[in-house]
Amino acid sequence: MIVVVGARGTIKDVDVFLRKLLDFATKEQIVLQAVNADAVYGKEHLLSAADHALRSWSQGTNATNSLALEILLYAAGERQIQKAIKKMGVKTGRQSIAFILVDTKKQRGNRKAYQSIIDRLLSTFHMTSDEAVLEGNRDTLKHFGIKDQEIRTLPAHKYGDLILEKVAMVDVLK
């Protein structure tokens, strides 16, 4: 099961935040990734990235030794970790964040079963839930290098498909 959560909060130190995130994930027995929500174009973007990452792990074609990092690569549409971090990594300061939670052991069946984990996650990091941060816009598309000419080829309700294509292209780049 994959769950995506939008939130707002402040990160004082990225390294400390990432260590705490890993500790939290280990304690909860989940895979957990946090990305800059300003670079996200809807929940489908991150669900697709997580699906691709899980598939690469099951097929032995993963590029990293961490499923969380593999999710970041797919979400960013990149094959290089540094480029992915630059494009989608969390930063110091007040920001919108998207969390991707993956239950690889399939211990929980639905989002409701995750709610206590989500509540603890938000509390631990002093964040507030805000699903609106997951909505993308034209700036998000441009952040991914999608040109105006390409954007104009689709109606607005199909813009997310351009990002899903970037996620899927990571497999081609291998």
pLDDT in tens, 26-83: 999 999 999 999 999 999 999 999 999 999 999 998 999 999 999 999 999 999 999 9
The CATH number of whichever domain residue 57 belongs to comes to 3.30.2380.10
Q: What is the pLDDT of residues 4-31, one digit of tens each?
A: 999 999 999 999 999 999 999 999 999 9
| Confidence (pLDDT) at 162 | 84
| Confidence (pLDDT) at 108 | 60
Between 162 and 92, name the one with better pLDDT: 92
Q: What mean pLDDT is predicted for residues 155-170?
A: 86
Q: What is the total count of domains within the chain?
A: 1
Q: How many CB atoms lie within 10 A of CB 95?
A: 17
Name the helix (H) or strand (E) containing 140.
Answer: helix 138-143
Domain that holds residue 164: 2-173
Could you tell me if 61 and 153 are in contact, meaning their C-beta atoms sit under 8 angstroms apart? no
